[in-house]
A and B are shown apart, each in its own frame.
Chain A
């Protein structure tokens, strides 16, 4: 470390340091800030463990409010988790139109019911391999009015229709950025 004062190479930190520093940053900061600084920071920002818990509520810092941008970032965050996503926390929007949960076995039914009931404009719900939450979802959806609902995709391990809904297979999945801040936690084992 006998270096002249200004020659420290901040682009080449040890992985231990990157992994601790980047874990202290939110998803948006990693995707829009630190991850775009240079080659080695970009690659450090792709460490899958950084994406086990994705939190996308710090919108003010970067003034990013465009839903499409948020949606793309959420997708990128899920991609980067490389199947290790354990928690996703975003910001609830009453204008939410699409919701897709894949392999989310431990979504709390109360949280899900409360959340979906606050989304009157929902058009598209997909629950893929989500365990028992699907039955609560069906109860809510059949009992409430969702005038905009156009598609409800359900795939379970049992691969059978439920309550008269067909179970379509092979439809592309959608992950939406606007997700509840109400502590809905997902365990996403496979993506």
Chain B
């Protein structure tokens, strides 16, 4: 058993390690800096590998493909998943509830859903990417091509050759 002060220091050390209390700065393409915990930043495989490779942790990470509004929302997800425990049933339920509310808001704003999906893809945040792509897939499900075009604001641009290919496949039998 260590002495009082030693034990306290060891506990603080362990706590620092566990909670990843080292801070990391992420900078949006508008130059706005966001300071996050390492545990939060490590939700991104892209940043995680840069940190583990001894990258420029002190200087922070510029993210030229992500705007401030999107980055703030992405960090909100990373904070929730990186900083909070999910061991008990209640904790897991709270996280699931967070995900549900988080994606419901994006679902109502397709442009924002697009931006967050792109950022999750770029930063390799697996859980967030799974969440947004599932939302996109759910929007597509059960719809006709025209309804899908309307939902996402896509123009019909199939070429005569595309149409020929589709027709050929349809009448293959």
Interface residues on A, range: 35 or more
Interface string of B133-173 (1 = CB under 8 A from A): 11011001111110011001111111100100110011111
Using known A-B contacts A1-B65, A1-B115, A8-B110, determine if residue A21 contacts B136 with beta carbons closer than 8 Å: yes
Q: Do residues B115 and A8 form an inter-chain contact, with CB atoms below 8 A?
A: yes
Answer yes or no: B93 CB below 8 A from chain A CBs.
no
Answer yes or no: A171 CB below 8 A from chain B CBs.
no
Question: From residue B68, how far is it (CB to closest CB) to chain A in Å?
Answer: 10
Q: Do residues A76 and B170 form an inter-chain contact, with CB atoms below 8 A?
A: yes
Q: Which residues of A contact B130 (CB under 8 A)?
A: 20
- In the complex formed, the residue of A with least CB distance to B117 is A17
Q: Do residues B153 and A20 form an inter-chain contact, with CB atoms below 8 A?
A: no
Answer yes or no: B121 CB below 8 A from chain A CBs.
yes
Q: Do residues B133 and A24 form an inter-chain contact, with CB atoms below 8 A?
A: yes
**Considering the chains assembled together, what is the distance between the CA atoms of A79 and B156 in angstroms?**
25
- In the complex formed, the residue of A with least CB distance to B124 is A16
Answer yes or no: A68 CB below 8 A from chain B CBs.
yes
**Considering the chains assembled together, what is the distance between the CA atoms of A11 and B145 in angstroms?**
13
Question: From residue B119, how far is it (CB to closest CB) to chain A in Å?
Answer: 8
- At the interface with chain B, which of A31-39, A130-138, A151-159? A31-39
**Considering the chains assembled together, what is the distance between the CA atoms of A20 and B152 in angstroms?**
17
Q: Do residues A1 and B145 form an inter-chain contact, with CB atoms below 8 A?
A: no
Question: From residue B61, how far is it (CB to closest CB) to chain A in Å?
Answer: 16
Using known A-B contacts A17-B133, A37-B145, determine if residue A72 contacts B115 with beta carbons closer than 8 Å: no
B111 in complex: contacting residue of A5, A16, A34, A61, CB < 8 Å: A5
